[in-house]
Amino acid sequence: MDVERIRKDFTVLSKDIGGKPPIYFDNACQTLRPRQVTEAVTEYYESFPACAGRSVHKLATEVSLRCDAMRAKASEFLGARDPHEVAFAKNTTEGLNTVIFGSGLGKGDEVVTTDYEHNSVHVPFLQLAKETGVKRRTVESATDGTFDLGAFEKTMSKRVKLVAMCLTSNVTGYTLPAKDVVDIAHSYGAKVLFDAAQAAPSMRLDVDKLGVDYLAASVHKMCGPSGVGLFYVRSELSEGLQPLMFGGHGVADTNYASFKLLPAPEKFETGLQNYAGILGTGAALDYLTAIGMDEIRAHEARLNKRMTRALLDVKGVELLRPHDPNMRSGIFSFNIDGLSSHDVAMILDNSKNIMMRSGMHCCHTYFHVRGLEGCARASVYIYNTVGEADLFVESVRELAGKFGRKG
């Protein structure tokens, strides 16, 4: 993988920001975009800025054809059998909410999650429980930070209708044993929903092989535009799943007494779509595919191993579990004793131009249960270099030595 060649596609990496080029380690929040993606977005606005699926003139037809091609590309990227199993949403959150609120769950039904869910799963279930009386069960992580399959199976019963889980944690980078989860859930008759926001950017996905029922991901974490999500629904389940919104485009016909929805995926795409974003998504998927998902995964692991080896035993630096970098994709989450996570992030930004995330990462329950106020999170991606990783290590060592409690 030629990182230096890749870096040339990302204009912002050559700009002086605060007097020096940025070291962007906030990829788990949002990745940068290559020129190929911004060019695809610009082409829409300059060459065929019309609506798809409505008008029949030449510009609209061009948009419709291109969106169909992008859907086929997204379907292939996710490993879906049929392009009609993939809808374009605003983000992962919209897809997750569609399943949680649209599956017909009610009193007497149970759902199962991990103990490190993003608020996009956690909060909708709190609301659903308030509205319907659905009961939620949580699988506690093993002491080493991994997913406890034994505890999961003990949690399951015939009352469980939906298993909704974060495929890759946005806090620790840990990826759960997805096929085992699906197989166990299906053996009890439950459907499975995966939050793949953190997995899709660097993990080869095959929804058909996994057997997962629903999956959602966000393109802004995959070198693509903001405001586009990929929402997979297994074809035989789409008819029974209610959309989150109702209105234009998703409706086939209506009168004063009733309406008829279009079939999937259109029923999940109510209202005017982000056509520029959808076309930019196609460029992003092409870009990642050309590099190779296995290559991306290996590059993340290489940098994470380098940072972990250098900082694991540094006094005052505490890594979040699991400690094995092979289990954490491109995420390196840590705290420095004596400093808040926000202090760490702001100091590294101001002194070294290292840009990273701090706080609770929309995963408050994870930190509350563990008595933590948050963590600093460095997350690497395809354009990050060994030199940047080494500078990060040196900077964290310096911070721990200067400000951290020696204890």
Residue-wise pLDDT for 302-318, tens only, equals 999 999 999 999 999 99
| pLDDT value at residue 407 | 45
Task: Give CA torsion, residues 371, 339, 168, 38, to 10 deg.
Answer: 140
Q: What share of the chain in percent tops pLDDT 70?
A: 99
- List b or e across 47-71, with b for residues whose CB sees 16 or more CB atoms inside 10 angstroms: ebebebbeeeeeebeebbebbeebb
Helix, strand, coil percentages (3-state) for the chain, rounded to 5, are 45, 15, 40
Task: Give CA torsion, residues 129, 130, 131, 134, to 10 deg.
Answer: 20
CA distances from 73 to 3, 200, 211, 277 (A): 25, 14, 20, 14
Q: Token pair of 331, please?
A: 């995420």
| pLDDT value at residue 116 | 97
Q: Are 362 and 123 in contact (CB under 8 A)?
A: no
| pLDDT value at residue 403 | 84
For the segment 372-401, the average pLDDT, to the nearest whole number, is 98
Predicted TM-score (pTM) of the model is: 0.97
Q: Which of 67, 223, 362, 363 is catalytic?
A: 362
Handedness of CA 309, 314, 319, 321 (dihedral sign): positive
- pLDDT, the chain, mean: 96
Instruction: Specify which residues 165 forms β-bridges with.
Output: 194
For the segment 366-381, the average pLDDT, to the nearest whole number, is 97
What the chain holds in terms of domains, given with CATH numbers, is: 3-30+292-402 (3.90.1150.10), 38-289 (3.40.640.10)
Total Cβ atoms within 10 A of residue 171:
24
Alpha-helical (H) ranges within 103-214 are: 119-132, 149-155, 178-187, 207-210
| CA 348/CA 359 separation, integer angstroms | 15
| CA 319/CA 313 separation, integer angstroms | 9
- Angle, CA of 167, 116 and 89, to the nearest 5°: 50
Closest to 384 measured CA to CA, from 22, 17, 37, 19: 22
CA distances from 108 to 105, 129, 159 (A): 9, 11, 7
Mark whether 67 is an active-site residue. Answer: no
| pLDDT value at residue 405 | 63
Q: Is the pLDDT of residue 18 over 90?
A: no
Handedness of CA 361, 364, 370, 371 (dihedral sign): positive
Residue-wise pLDDT for 212-253, tens only, equals 999 999 999 999 999 999 999 999 999 999 999 999 889 999
Task: Give CA torsion, residues 261, 266, 267, 273, to 10 deg.
Answer: -120
| CA 311/CA 328 separation, integer angstroms | 15
| CA 275/CA 231 separation, integer angstroms | 16
Q: What share of the chain in percent tops pLDDT 90?
A: 96
Task: Give CA torsion, residues 373, 227, 261, 216, to 10 deg.
Answer: -50
Q: Is the pLDDT of residue 36 over 50?
A: yes
Q: Is the peptide bond before 263 cis (omega within 30 degrees of 0)?
A: no
**DSSP letter (8 states) at residue 234:** -
Quick check: helix, strand or coil at residue 320?
coil
